[in-house]
Amino acid sequence: MKKIGKQTYNIKDDVVIRDTFTVVGTKEGEGPLKNNFDLIVDDLWGEDSWEKSERKFQKTAIETLLNKNRLQKDDIDLLISGDLLNQIVSSSFAARDIGLPYIGIYGACSTMALSMGVGSLLIDGGFASNVICATSSHFCSAEKQYRLPLEMGGQRPMSSQWTVTGSGAVWLSNTGKGPKIKNVTFGKILDLGVTDANNMGAAMAPAAHDTLKQNMLDTKIDYDLIVTGDLGIVGKSIVNRMFHDENMSIEKKYDDCGTIIFDIEKQDVHAGGSGCGCSAVVFGSFLYKKLLNKEIKKLLFTSTGALHSPTVSLQGDSIPGIAHCIGIEG
């Protein structure tokens, strides 16, 4: 059995992260990681809508990853991607233009780890040799769909996060050199009862805590660094408190992509970053380089997602959360 413990899958054969590509918007390009991203562009990027711009972000990330590695379409078995917009249109339209066999997935902001987890299992099971995993998000398109269009000038509470404008693409392969995915933990949906769409960190924190704890119990691995996707200041503090209450403190080696990507004090992002693109571009740039340089030997990478929609939120329903873990060795 390749399953270990309750929820974790042990990757026995090589699943190598061969390369990545990241493209981000202006605000992300002004943040602490500005020297790590592959490409920084303006948010609209010559398009006439935010949705078309986001589609261009993801298409560019995937195509450039292929081109820089001289990969032909026949070299890739599958493209696995998703995003935040209704019917994951950014991903499906990008996949239409690129022309690769496509699996569209939805995990909200957990999509990067979800796609990498699914891709790893397909490669480890012998069903694929080369897989591209990708996702994207855009501040302006996400605000329009989930909260209020920017033109309305709505006031953002301090618990709100800034959806990252960006896209990350990752090439997984069963050959070559690079950091290796060693385990995957798919999470359970948990619900803290949060109904405020401007408080995503609190909504996702219980799921992040549960999946992180399960991975560590299942694998018994002492990770050098544990990183969640986009909990921001609020969600990160809740996760730390939940572990502390169980006498399992991870605070000294734990961080969150939502607090890494922006300068919280100088960039006016309130509680930090969020969105599918948040964990995707932080992993594809900053964390991946640390793995390559052997600054991190064992990384537990976790993307977190809030599984709600504008319709159910307006009806007063709470916001369920999900988290998926990827154990990586440099």
State residue 109's pLDDT score.
95
Residue 260 CA to residue 275 CA, distance in Å, equals: 14
State residue 152's pLDDT score.
61
State residue 192's pLDDT score.
87
Dihedral over Cα of 143, 305, 124, 293: its sign: positive
> Which residues is 131 bridged to in the sheet?
78, 172
State residue 164's pLDDT score.
95
State residue 145's pLDDT score.
80
State residue 125's pLDDT score.
95
Cβ neighbours, 10 Å, residue 155:
7
At the topology level, CATH places domain 180-329 in: Peroxisomal Thiolase; Chain A, domain 1 (3.40.47)
Distances in whole angstroms, Cα of residue 314 to Cα of each of 186, 308, 310, 317 = 29, 10, 6, 7
- With a cut of 50, list the residues of the chain below it in pLDDT: none
21-64 pLDDT per residue, tens = 999 999 999 999 999 999 999 999 999 999 999 999 999 999 99
State residue 150's pLDDT score.
65
Residue 328 CA to residue 207 CA, distance in Å, equals: 20
Q: Which of 194, 196, 198, 233 is nearest to 320 (CA)?
A: 194
State residue 292's pLDDT score.
97
179-216 pLDDT per residue, tens = 999 999 999 999 989 988 888 899 999 999 999 999 99
* Domain covering 3-173: architecture: 3-Layer(aba) Sandwich (3.40)
Q: Where in the chain is the domain with CATH 3.40.47.40?
A: 3-173, 180-329
State residue 161's pLDDT score.
77
State residue 155's pLDDT score.
66
Distances in whole angstroms, Cα of residue 89 to Cα of each of 55, 101, 137, 224, 281 = 8, 16, 11, 37, 20
What's the chain's length in residues? 330
State residue 153's pLDDT score.
63
Q: How many CA atoms lie within 13 A of 246 on its CB side?
A: 12
Q: Are 150 and 143 in contact (CB under 8 A)?
A: yes
- Helix (H) or strand (E) holding 302, with range, is strand 298-306
| Three-state secondary-structure class, residue 303 | strand
Distances in whole angstroms, Cα of residue 328 to Cα of each of 6, 81, 136, 262, 302 = 19, 20, 22, 24, 11
